[in-house]
Amino acid sequence: MKASELRDKTNDELHELARQLEEDVFRMRIKRGAEQLNDTSSMAKTRRDLARVNTTLRQRELGEAGAAQGGGEDG
């Protein structure tokens, strides 16, 4: 999943996607422990996607907070 695709989604869609990815990572960890996970690289890919979603959400939080504080500095 690309960051540009994530920027096109709404906050609600991103929160739902993050919840789903967290659930997927949890299930993969259980399967890995039981030695039933066939594609071990899928876990790293899922964790990376989750990090991208969380980063996008955090950037939006900081952007909204910056706008609420008055934009930028007049240095």
Q: What is the pTM of this model?
A: 0.80
Question: Going from the N-terminus, what domains does the chain have, and what CATH number goes with each?
Answer: 3-68 (1.10.287.310)
Amino acid 73: pLDDT: 59
Amino acid 75: pLDDT: 47
Are 50 and 22 a contacting pair, CB within 8 Å? yes
Amino acid 38: pLDDT: 87
Cα separation, 27 vs 4, whole angstroms = 27
- Rounded average pLDDT per 10-residue block, the chain, 75 residues: 87 95 94 88 94 95 80 57
